[in-house]
Structure 1
Amino acid sequence: MTSTLDVSAARSVAFDLLRSVLARHKTFENAMAIHDGFRRLPARDKGFARLIVATTLRRLGQIDGLLDICIEKPLPKAGDAVRDILRLGTAQMLFLGVAPHASVNSAVTLVESRKLTKFKGLTNAVLRRISRDGGEMLAEFPDICNICGWMLAGWIEAFGEQTAARIATASLAEPPLDISVKENPEGWAEKLGARVLPTGTLRRRFEGPLEGMSGFSDGAWWVQDAAAALPAKLLGDVQDRTVVELCAAPGGKTAQLILAKARLTAVDRSETRLGRLKRNLSRLGLSTNLVTADATKWGPPAPVDAILLDPPCTSTGTIRRHPDILHSKSWAELTKLTALQDRLLAAAVEMLKPGGRLVYCVCSLQPEEGEHRIAKFVESGVPVDLDPIRADEIGGIVDAITTQGELRTLPHHLGDKGGLDGFFAARLIRT
């Protein structure tokens, strides 16, 4: 990353976005969507602002560790904003390769413009020390310092310390752009400058607005992480079979099931989210039966052949794409979500015919939302059997199949090809 652009506006917007996430608890996506200044930035500056904030959020544990060493006295409450400016400057120097003088000078200018002039000297001194000694000090703060305690504890329990450390490192990377196509993946890979992954997903670097890419306006493809595209495939051949998708928005899996010629009903409790799903399908030239309902209380007119359940979760498998998750989720929220997941599982199995398939999936790395939920459900005496998933169903990714025959993708899987989001899926048969 060079500092040849005039990015003073981008840095100012980046500060506003970081404050929105950390101080006002907005999601990063929402903060960008509602910030007029961000929307008005040229595409290149917009990308730079987004990258600064995303990097700061990903590396916040390490950054704060360095700042705690370099700031001798605790900052007053009014200094919270200054700390965010220091965080952004540190991220630029240590993780984005921005020249130290550009990072320091822009931070001092930002302090002045935000009427925090009394912190000008501190800002200059702290960032100059980090520019001089930060690389050496960073060795004291491994990547796992960026992961909050309850989240990391779950990873260590499920995968061990070494794998948890690999997950932490892989979760810090900028993700690639993954694309699902309606047809002809090889042809679209050539048009889009992408590669075809073993799972069938197309992958390329993310470069600029999607709207300008070939095939987007024609509805030839949609954005969907390679791991997120796997659960729908685990239902097998669904042509002319009755299928219910629960918690369906935003619609990537819905599109897969429509294209697989399922007789599909897509259910979501949120009218807003279902409206987004409908718009996404409309761009693709697809449609299906959509129902706004609470899936724990709703049921189909008759038992169905298959169900795909993708319940609300902590989404810790998508930290690469949504680094604010590191700071917005909590153990208390996890506890509430697991209770909801149990209720949705119980409701889903009641909708199935004997012999019907239920695929449960979450974009979470927490075992409490994946392995633990399915183990508890199967052991509760519900009339279901676990139906083992095979590696040949997911492009031969042997490492992603657990000893129980469940799917567990980790961010470092397919690491030489850009990694995967963290996902869990299990397949159950109604007995």
Structure 2
Amino acid sequence: MTDVPGLPVRRAALRMLDAVLRRGETLDQASHAALRQVRSGPDRALGLAIASEVLRWKVDLDAVIDGATRQSLPADAKPRMVLAIMLAQAMRLGTPPHAAIATGLPLLAGGPRRLAHGVFSTLMKRGATLPEAPTLPRAVADRWGERASAIATGLAEPPPLDLTLRDPDRTAEWATKLGGASLMPGHVRLARGTAVENLEGFDEGAWWVQDFAASLPARLLGPRAGRRALDLCAAPGGKTLQLAAVGWNVTALDISKRRMERLRENLARTGLEATAVVADALAWEPPELFDAILLDAPCTATGTCRRHPDVLHRIGLRQIGEMAELQAALLARAVTWLRPGGRLVYAVCSLEPDEGEGRVQDTGLSPDPISAEELPHGIGPTASGHVRTDPGMLPGAGGLDGFFVARFFRPN
């Protein structure tokens, strides 16, 4: 049955899920190896979509499966995962049930195909459904507290496509040209599934792809023509481009040579300028102090769970603790590189308090509270003058990723 049309895509999805759930790999890492033999672009996208939907709805898919079996299948049983793949297609991706069966059962060659067929058919006859919003894993919901339910609602659909404009004064023009909407000057939002390279303005570097929440930290440094800014942990470069576009003299530093190549490509495409440095921020020393520092620190990235649902299952207290230690070390070095009177913005795309609020309690700098006037409609500062976004916010406008942002200054 190896020649069943569509089978390689489903086999790739199964391999991705195994790599994420059993070996703790990121979905991005797992997809490179799993999709190697899948040549078609649409087929590759389908394989990734199947795996993503299973991860996004896994708690609910498991509950549906358990409701149709006399004895609960082991959590890591292959039949459970194959059933989840079949159900995610039928219940979330619009795959006809007969096609889900034809491409799913061959994954259980030598295994309990009759069981899987029976359970799936029973659920389809019952008209089984998923809830309106995914159920978060218990440990995740406990960590995210009172916002967990709203965040889950924001995960029900993958995110739209956000663009940051090189020239904010042309926001209305580009929104009209691209058929999008804007949440703030310098931003255009398009429907998901848009082929980026085919959009007007790509070749001329008029914009770059950047989640709306990810654009907020650089905005909070403001325009400072000619003054020196450090974008720490900069790759792939969205925030560097933002700072360069409003006149900062930017030094962009990152430890990854490969990711810094992408930053250089983005600079060349947009015609913006920055000094790119490949170095370890824990060992590097700047030749002089900076007027502004943006530290978008490495983190667990749980705030990106809309587009990377693997974080719902890979990230736990151990990973959060490891990231918090690295963030503390980076922040301790960054504050020593700031001129008197200079600003520092600390940001993480994480929903974990230990990586956000708990990381900025004692920076050695003075707080520089963020005001409501600096933020888009629907997002306000916290009582401490920080910014905390999550996927449950801006529900009628397409939502946004989870970020924590805090701003400080060094007194003269």
* TM value normalised by structure 2: 0.90
User: Aligned-pair distance for 1:340?
Assistant: 1.2
The residue number in structure 1 matching 2:137 is 147
Question: 1:50 is matched with which residue: 45, 48, 51?
Answer: 48
SS at match of 1:278: helix
Is 1:132–2:125 an aligned residue pair?
yes
Is contact 1:38–1:46 with CA below 8 Å preserved after alignment? no
**Which residue is 1:333 aligned to?**
319
Q: Is this contact kept in 2: 1:94–1:134, CA < 8 A?
A: no
- Where does the alignment leave 5 or more consecutive residues of structure 2 unmatched? none
Give the distance between the partners of 2:135 and 2:35, measured in 1 at CA: 33
2: distance between equivalents of 1:76 and 1:174?
29
- Which one-letter code corresponds to 1:318 in the other structure? T
Q: CA-to-partner distance for each residue in 1:205-225, whole Å, 9 max, x for gaps?
A: 122532222222332221100
2:372 is matched with 391
Q: Give the SS at the match of 1:135.
A: coil
Give, in whole Å, the separation in 2 of the partners of 1:168 and 1:259. 35
1:206 equivalent in structure 2: 192
Instruction: Please show how residues 147-186 of structure 1 align to structure 2 within 5 Å.
Output: 147-149=137-139, 151-156=140-145, 160=146, 163-183=147-167, 184-186=170-172
Q: 2:152 touches 2:392 (CA, 8 Å); kept in 1?
A: no
Tell me which residue corresponds to 1:225: 211
Extract unaligned runs of 5+ from structure 1.
1-5
Task: Find the residue that maps to 1:248 and give its secondary structure.
Answer: coil
Give the 3-state SS of the residue equivalent to 1:283 in structure 2.
helix
**Distance apart, 1:24 and its partner CA:** 4.2
Is the CA contact 1:144–1:165 (under 8 Å) kept in the aligned structure 2? no
- How many angstroms apart in 1 are the aligned matches of 2:226 and 2:41? 47
Cα offset for 1:37?
A: 5.0
Number of the residue aligned with 1:428: 408
> 1:317 & 1:303 partners in 2: Cα distance?
31
Distance 1:208 1:318, change over 3 A: same
Contact 1:10 1:41 in 2 (8 A): no
Amino acid of the structure 1 residue aligned with 2:148: A
Partners of 2:377 and 2:44 in 1: how far apart?
Answer: 38
Confirm or deny that 1:86 pairs with 2:83: yes
Offset of 1:332 from its aligned partner? 0.3
- Separation (CA, whole Å) in 2 of partners of 1:38 and 1:362: 35
Q: Do the aligned partners of residues 196 and 314 (structure 1) sit closer, same or farther apart at CA in structure 2, a change above 3 Å counting?
A: same
- The number of equivalent residue pairs is 405
Contact 2:12 2:35 in 1 (8 A): no
Residue 261 of structure 1, aligned match among 247, 261, 274 = 247
1:314-358 deviation line (CA, Å, top 9, x unaligned): 111110111111122221010011111111111111111111100
Specify the SS of the correspondent of 1:165: helix
- In structure 2, distance between residues paired with 1:196 and 1:169: 22
284-293 or 246-255, larger mean C-alpha shift: 284-293
Which one of the candidate residues 68, 72, 92 is aligned to 1:70? 68
In the alignment, the residues of structure 1 paired with residue 366 and residue 341 of structure 2 have an alpha-carbon distance, to the nearest angstrom, of: 10
Residue of structure 2 equivalent to 1:119:
112
Q: Deviations over 1:163-215 (max 9, x none)?
A: 32011121232100001121222222222221111353110112253222222
- Tell me the CA shift for residue 75 of structure 1: 5.0
Distance (Å, rounded) in 2 between the aligned partners of 1:37 and 1:131: 32
- Which residue is 2:275 aligned to? 289
User: How far off is 1:104 after superposition?
Assistant: 3.0
Q: In 2, are the aligned partners of 1:148 and 1:326 still within 8 Å (CA)? A: no
Matched AA of 1:14? A
What does residue 98 of structure 1 align with?
95
Partner of 2:381: 401
Provide the C-alpha distance between the structure 2 equivalents of 1:200 and 1:245, rounded to a whole number of angstroms: 19
3-state secondary structure, aligned to 2:354: coil
Distance 2:314 2:277 in 1: 30
Task: Check conservation: 2:166, 2:186, Cα contact below 8 A.
Answer: no
**Corresponding residue for residue 108 of structure 1:** 105
Q: Distance in 2 between matches of 1:97 and 1:256?
A: 39
SS for the counterpart of 2:112 is helix
- Choose the corresponding residue for 1:246, options 229, 232, 252: 232
**1:264-315, Cα deviation, whole Å (9 max, x unpaired):** 1111122222223223323323331122222233232222111000111111
**Residue aligned with 1:66, SS:** helix
CA contact 1:199–1:395 (8 Å) conserved in 2: no
CA contact (8 A) 2:253 2:278 kept: yes
SS of equivalent to 2:77: helix
- Report how far residue 390 of structure 1 moved: 1.1
- Mapped contact 1:28–1:324 kept (Cα < 8 A): yes
Rounded Cα–Cα distance in structure 1 between residues aligned with 2:33 and 2:271? 28
CA distance in 2, matches of 1:258, 1:42: 34
Q: Distance in 1 between matches of 2:38 and 2:103?
A: 21
- On the 8 A contact 1:32/1:39 being kept in 2, the answer is no
Q: Once the two structures are aligned, what percentage of the paired residues are identical?
A: 40
Is the CA contact 2:223–2:243 (under 8 Å) kept in the aligned structure 1? no
Which SS does the other structure have where 1:245 is aligned? strand
For residues 59-106 of structure 1, give each alpha carbon's deviation from its aligned partner in whole angstroms, at most 9, with x where no partner exists: 0111122223334346579x8333221111111223334333332343
Distance in 2 (alpha carbons) for counterparts of 1:66 and 1:40: 33
Partner Cα separation in structure 2 for residue 198 and residue 208 of structure 1: 21
Of 297, 300, 304, the match for 1:314: 300
- Shift >6 Å, 4+ stretches: none
